[in-house]
Amino acid sequence: MGHSLRAAKIAWRRMHAECERRGWRRMLWSMDVFRSVARDPLAAPAKVAARLRSAASARAQAWRDARTASYGPVLGVGPHRPCFMAPPVETLLPHAQTFALLARLTLEHRFDLLGSGWVGLGRGERRMGFAGEVYPPAESPPDRDGRWLAAAITANNLPLARRLRERIGPDYRPVSWNEDFKSGYVWPATEPSIGLRYGDKPGVDVKVPWELARMQHLPWLAFAAMLSRGQAPGFEPPERYLREIQDQVLDFISACPPRFGANWICTMDVAIRAANLIATHDILASAGLPLDGWFVEELRRTLSDHFRHIVGRLEYHPVVRANHYYSDIVGLLFVASWLPSTPETSAALAWATQEYMRETPVQFGADGGNFEASTSYHRLCGELLVYGAAVLQGLSADTVRDIREADPALWPWQPPLEAPGPWIAEDRIVLPEAVRERIERAGDFLLDYSVEKGEIFQFGDNDSGRLFKFLPAVSLLTSEDLAPFGERPDSGVVPEPFERINDHAHLAAAVSGLAPRADLLAMAPGHPETCLVRGLARFGERENGPAMRPARSPARLRDYPGFGLFIYTVGDKRVALRCGSNGQHDNGGHAHNDQLSLCLAVGGLLMLVDPGTYVYTPLPGQRNAFRATRHHNTLFVPDEEQNSFTSTSLFNLVNEARPETLEVSETLWRARHHGFSSPHTRSVRMHASGGIEVKDECDVAGCRLALHMHPDVAVEIRTGGISLARGGQCLLLEGEGIAWELSEFAYSPGYGLIRSAPRLVSTPFSGVVHWSIA
């Protein structure tokens, strides 16, 4: 019976994934309704009714958009309510060179996103292509009198779009907002977003235009304007940056009407864009560098459209919901609290507050780890956690009263708006203990999975996703850095910043804004995000905020069983061991087949690494290869996986491994998984001398052990073992009864990035194998 039920679940998930891939929306809807009824028959009628209302609303909206302009009216008639406050310019000065460089490239409309390299984004230009796939230019190059716009958007949206473009400066070059500027493919802005498909063309990645349209580059221009006014060298006049912000936003609004084109497909990205537009406006306004009054009115109009879109297209699911839904909630917190107070915005803000309080303990376990089973998604969701809490704490007494008095009847969507919760005090929002604990423990987890030299232990997917990118960690590109992009400059250094994707120190700074602690602040000293979070929470106006606390005491073992990560400190070595859930309530959308995997850093440098992710839908085969068992530092068996997946189910891992932790102490870690035809048990013993001994047990014939090194590790096979060296750190790898084969593998430090790195694979064995690192 158990085997049959398990097989049925696997078949169901595969069928659901195939329906998603083919875009069979009605079939997906029917499957979800059936599952809702099966899970909770009593609540099912209300859920089905809500889904019917939502589907009917979407169809009605699409019908209206086909006949009228999709731009909507401005919500409310009163003043907007600022969220952010500009950080002191003194916190920006140490980073002036970085902001000057980023602002210059933004003015030139050059962007480096998801491994693209710095690319100019004019319309109608030919691209380099991705993975051998190049799509010809599908957009008309802009002409001086603006005739290109008539072919780019629907006739109903053209009058307002033309009026907006009349406000754009004469020397401004339009940006190709709907283009995957790696492959060159363009999603037409004449087609409703709800009907556009993605993931069905080789080499095409919809995440590229989504990432650009998050507008995370606009705050760089705001900070550049502040530094320019402060007479910092290397900047244009402040007015140049203000003009560019206005022009880019108007360009986007006119080229991407609401609910048309690529950039209204995913509600999460709409929510993140809204938050960044608000941050850019508020930073400038509070710094005494206001944008033009007429432009602010257009900003209010587009944020009203963003509000309506988020509310009407929430990525909610009664069982499987993850960072997308959490992003929807936090984005709605920002836009509903920023727009003028109306009964509609108050109901939405009350609902978003309710869902933030309820969803946070779902998204983060009691140990502080995010439930996606990914350290990189922990960074993204950690930002959502912190900034969501900060905006709630900064709400005015009048806004809190609006939340308390909100009418549930004005929120007809699921989940429903219920009676005010205990977090609503007389004049402020009080964070529940469960939320405050998760903020602090999320910071603990960040400290422990981070490696001293600005790197992290990668586990699970890494799509380089962020809520804000106020101050990216950047270095100047060298010819070695440029090699993955097919470029070789004549000089050794070029004036282009290269983002260190896996430097998560900014999140420590953000957490410190709400839960200041010496070790968190030491990870990101003087980072402006601490001030931004404190300003958002209005610390210093109504209260001083939490007091500084001392750093944690050192520990040999930091365990996060809810996430499934165990981190040991053994002398100058740090060992990260994985055993735990697939995440997302076992949906495994961003987990890898990495059970019992071991990653290692020495002296702050990564030595044994997780391979990363590379890409999602552009290359399904590569997506699955990077999350496969053989790509991790564990045993693999030919033709078997720890958890099964198919070529079409790119965001699902069926939980077949059933991992279990058997013993955890400061010197010994033992765990097992059942993903193969015989269980795999791994025992890792940590010695006071710094040595690490590993015993792997598995009775499947043909088992092999794989170890993946960082690209900068030099591997030398010797008679007495294998030498691993990087940056002055040396290790000796030894194995009993096995030989090693040295080859190369593809290592991905961030989404779209790939480097060649050394890989060791043992000869086949069955039974027990011992190996050690000293």
d(CA 365, CA 268): 22
Domain count, the chain: 1
Contact 422, 432 (CB under 8 A): yes
What is the domain range of residue 610?
Answer: 557-773
CA atoms within 13 A on the CB side of 677: 10
Helix and strand totals (H; E) in the chain: 22, 22
In this prediction, the residues of the chain whose per-residue pLDDT falls under 50 are: 1-2, 39, 490-493
What tokens were used for 422?
A: 């205990």
pLDDT at 146: 74
Strand partners, 669: 664, 684
pLDDT at 34: 63
User: Would residue 763 count as lying in a domain?
Assistant: yes
| 143: number of Cβ within 10 Å | 9
d(CA 188, CA 190): 5
CATH code: domain of residue 645: 2.70.98.70
Contact 185, 138 (CB under 8 A): yes
Q: What is the pTM of this model?
A: 0.92
User: Would residue 532 count as lying in a domain?
Assistant: no
| All residues at 6 or more sequence positions from 476 whose CB lies less than 8 Å from its CB, including other chains | 493, 494, 495, 496, 497, 498
DSSP state of 108: T
Rg of the chain (C-alpha set): 26
Torsional sign, CA 621, 623, 625, 627: negative
What tokens were used for 653?
A: 């891992």
User: Would residue 434 count as lying in a domain?
Assistant: no
User: Would residue 618 count as lying in a domain?
Assistant: yes
What tokens were used for 362?
A: 């779902």
User: Would residue 683 count as lying in a domain?
Assistant: yes
pLDDT at 62: 75
User: Would residue 171 count as lying in a domain?
Assistant: no
pLDDT at 720: 84
d(CA 83, CA 621): 43
CA angle 637, 642, 645 (to 5 degrees): 110
d(CA 92, CA 98): 10
d(CA 670, CA 662): 5
pLDDT digits (tens, 9 = 90+) for 60-79: 777 788 779 999 999 998 89
What tokens were used for 524?
A: 């990101």
User: Would residue 487 count as lying in a domain?
Assistant: no
pLDDT at 1: 44
Residue whose C-alpha is closest to residue 627's, from 608, 657, 607, 652: 652
Backbone angles phi, psi at 435, to 5 degrees: -75, -45
pLDDT at 29: 58
- 611 residue type, one letter: P
d(CA 595, CA 292): 55
User: Would residue 592 count as lying in a domain?
Assistant: yes
Concatenate the DSSP letters of all residues of 682-725 into one string: EEEEE-TTS-EEEEEEEEEEEEEEEEEB-TT-EEEEETTEEEEE
- 427 residue type, one letter: D
